[in-house]
Amino acid sequence: MKTAIFPPRPSSRCVPSPTGPQSHVWPVGWSEIHRSPGPPAKARTPGCCLRRVWCVPPSRAIPRPKCGVDSGPGAGEASWHFGGIAVGTVVSVSGTPVRRFSDRGRSRWGTLVAAAGVASLLISGLPTSPAAADIVADIIDVGPEASDVAVNPVTNTVYVTTRDGLTVINGKTQATVKITTGSTPVAVAVNTATNKIYLSLKSDPSAPGSVAIVNGATHAVARVTVGAAPGELVIDQKTNKIYAGTLDGVSVINGSTNASTIINSGSVSTLVINQVTHRLYTLGGGGLNVIDTATNAVTRIDLGTNAMPSYLAVNQVTNKVYVAVRARQYAALEVVDGATNQAGGMFSDLNASPTSLSVDEKNNRVYFGRTSLGDGTISSRTGLLAIFDDGGPGRVDIRTGAAPGAIAVNGTTNKVYFEAGYRGTTVVDGKSFALSTLSHPFTGTLAVNEATNKIYASNWQGSVTIIDGNSPTPLKNDFSGDRKTDLLARDASGVLWLYPGNGAAGWLPRTQVGSAWNSMTAVVSPGDFNGDKKPDVLARDGAGHLWMYPGNGAGGWLARVHVGSGWNAITAIVTPGDFNGDGTADILARDTSGTLWLYPGDGRGDWLPRTNLGTGWNALTAIVGSGDFNSDGTPDVLARDGSGVLWLYNGNGTGGWAWDRQKVGEGWNSMTAIVAPGDFNGDGRPDIVARDGSGSLFLYPSASDGAWLPTVRIGQGWNGMTALL
């Protein structure tokens, strides 16, 4: 069979097409914009630029799941907004009073959490994924007992503490280097200004401890003696001073000389630094200390006799410090004015315990994780994440299932990531409050590189999970969610099969993903049609109804949605991807008269007004959306005529055609099916898969210039399939 005939590109001119009336037929439920046909359009070939708007979407409600459909407790249907953003189902709007815990053992009440005009919301039944979904990009082995992790965004380097030293990960290549530190490092911090890495080393608490200093360029290691059992580290990059919490107080390391001194503040478990005011905040001995690092003066802030502070966070922009406190049966959040050292209650919750705390300085938000203890039984416990907007008392509470552990914030994307125990990492979209959990090995500590939008989660078993927050464009046919192109096939009995691709022009074991699909007269894969970053399927039944089957990203389906009727007037349905350049998947459809129509998707599972793309397309026996076949940055269409010639119709990226069609092959009438699944062999180029009359399946890899690479047979016995997509 001939497959690679490439004549010179014809000149950019339109030639007469097969004659025929201009069609005004569209699926039932659409309304015509113009009541009279208007002047007839000039006859065009399918490759010429003809765009006319004929109709608008029907005035009907889009079938969608009800807000609050959720398996969690208390799910309802009342929709509320917080700051103008729909947040889902409201379970409770009651404000919990702030309780302060005095050193005299009595409590006094503060202001209500639900301040005037600010909603206090408890949410469940949220969307199952943020608007822009994150993915687990890779899992890297780093050594035993990986614990703390830190990032240098300047050099795009990740540092992970393990039992046998420090593992360095190149953020671009993911190559790793092991640095021996002698003792086991328990905490890591990076000075991005000097490219030095500081490690607290495990030591005997009865003797002085050590901090290792690693040169980020040479990996040379030095040691500095500090107080006993050093733990957390913070760095003031403006003064080039490093602070380590120890049993003896705060050890201060001069970053230029490596000389160290101790501030006698008492035992320190947690510390944070405000690099604007150069004040250090520490927890230890049941209280909060403020240290002026210019004078080393220590000021004790009273949080109450019954208060047990556990977490600290600072907002350097607003000069506020937040303290998560456990007091009696309450989980409380205290706020300290950095200018006056005045502490006040911000929020408290009965029968709860704090689990984490973080601040988003760019969006001025506070994230407070806690466990609601319920009636004291394990089954009644639930995780909650409180989000305080603008640092104020009004909050949104999101049910998280597992108690939120370590929190990392990406202020640039307005997303928060927290450790969800054995489940992996949970992602919360700060705009929509939608959340999803990425499954991977147990998370210990999280770090974010905002420059690359990558998130790193350590695992005690010896790995680091790399989460990509860049929301890569979903592959058109990646139904299994492994970032490799798949095929769907329907057999004669109506069973729908998923044939997962292995990313290298081969197959993984097939799985059944449906039955009774023989009632469908057309089945196509448009890509992500409803905007959830997962590929979907469109299918037309015998009555002409068009259905969307949303993919769940794991080889299955969500509930189908009706997206049109009257589609039995259509003789070909083509899935070109984003044909008009608006960022959403579109459909091309040929009617019985041979007119080709563009049905732009709206990115939410519905349609925008259709557009006429040309006439004479009934002369073509197969039409497929090939993707960007000629590497010019816009989606194209391949079509076979009655003589078996294959033509390339180059899209212009705005819903039309760039020039006249181009001949790219002959002898294609021997093929009984032609599909365009995307990049099937993993070379980054869109490919074509075709079945011949004997049932053999062939891969036609495309080259960058609109030509072909050598054909590869990838299967046989496929003539038992009645649909390929």
Average pLDDT for 274-291:
95
Residue 639: name the closest of 654, 609, 618, 670 by CA. 618
Residues of the chain with pLDDT > 90: what percent? 66
Sign of CA dihedral 520, 525, 528, 529: negative
pLDDT digits (tens, 9 = 90+) for 446-480: 999 999 999 999 999 899 999 999 866 778 999 99
Residue 664: name the closest of 625, 705, 712 by CA. 705
Sign of CA dihedral 296, 299, 301, 307: positive
Q: What is the pLDDT of residue 533?
A: 86
Q: What is the mean pLDDT of the chain?
A: 82
CB atoms under 10 Å from CB of 245, counted, come to: 28
Q: What is the pLDDT of residue 39?
A: 27
Cα 130 to Cα 133: distance, rounded to the nearest angstrom: 5
Place of tokens 């046919």: 477
Cα 342 to Cα 223: distance, rounded to the nearest angstrom: 38
- CB neighbour class for 415 (10 Å; exposed up to 12, middle 13-18, buried from 19): buried
Cα 192 to Cα 214: distance, rounded to the nearest angstrom: 12
- Encoded tokens for 242: 């490093």
In the beta sheet, which residues pair with residue 507? Answer: 501
What are the CB-based long-range contacts (under 8 Å, 24+) for 262-266? 262/226, 262/227, 263/291, 263/296, 263/298, 264/298, 265/289, 265/291, 265/298
Largest CA distance in the chain: 95
pLDDT digits (tens, 9 = 90+) for 618-630: 999 999 999 998 8
Domains of the chain by start residue, with CATH: 31-61+474-681 (2.120.10)
Lowest mean pLDDT among 133-142, 248-257, 531-540, 700-709: 700-709
Tell me, what DSSP letter sits at residue 668?
A: G
Cα 170 to Cα 628: distance, rounded to the nearest angstrom: 32
Q: pTM higher than 0.85, yes or no?
A: no
Question: Which of 338 and 82 is assigned the larger pLDDT?
Answer: 338
Cα 324 to Cα 521: distance, rounded to the nearest angstrom: 60
b/e per residue 300-331 (b: at least 16 CB within 10 A): ebebbebbbbbbbbbbbeebbbbbbbbbeebb
Beta-carbon contacts of 533 under 8 Å, excluding residues fewer than 6 positions away, are: 129, 132, 133, 471, 474, 553
In the beta sheet, which residues pair with residue 415? Answer: 410, 429
pLDDT at 29 over 50: no
Alpha helices in 91-151 (DSSP H): none
Coil/strand/helix, residue 147: coil
- Is 438:425 a contact under the CB 8 Å cutoff? yes
- Is 146:167 a contact under the CB 8 Å cutoff? yes
Cα 483 to Cα 471: distance, rounded to the nearest angstrom: 12
DSSP 309-339: EEEEEEETTTTEEEEEEEETTEEEEEEEETT
- Is 44:614 a contact under the CB 8 Å cutoff? yes
Residue 347: name the closest of 317, 388, 297, 314 by CA. 388
Cα 130 to Cα 148: distance, rounded to the nearest angstrom: 27
Q: What is the pLDDT of residue 101?
A: 39
pLDDT digits (tens, 9 = 90+) for 155-210: 999 999 999 999 999 999 999 999 999 999 999 999 999 999 999 999 999 999 99
- Encoded tokens for 367: 């994230």
Cα 540 to Cα 524: distance, rounded to the nearest angstrom: 9
Q: What is the pLDDT of residue 421?
A: 80
Average pLDDT for 648-665:
92
Distance of CA 525 to the CA centre of its chain: 22
- How far is CA 425 from each of CA 13, 436, 681, rounded to the nearest angstrom? 56, 8, 31
pLDDT at 288 over 70: yes
Beta-carbon contacts of 272 under 8 Å, excluding residues fewer than 6 positions away, are: 234, 280, 281, 312, 313, 314, 321
Question: Which of 66 and 613 is assigned the larger pLDDT?
Answer: 613
Coil/strand/helix, residue 394: coil
pLDDT at 577 over 80: yes
CA torsion angle for 519, 524, 525, 529 (degrees, to 10)?
-90
- Is 397:123 a contact under the CB 8 Å cutoff? yes
pLDDT digits (tens, 9 = 90+) for 474-502: 789 999 988 899 999 999 999 999 999 99
DSSP 69-100: --SSTT----EEEETTEEEEEEEE-PPPEEEE
pLDDT at 37 over 80: no
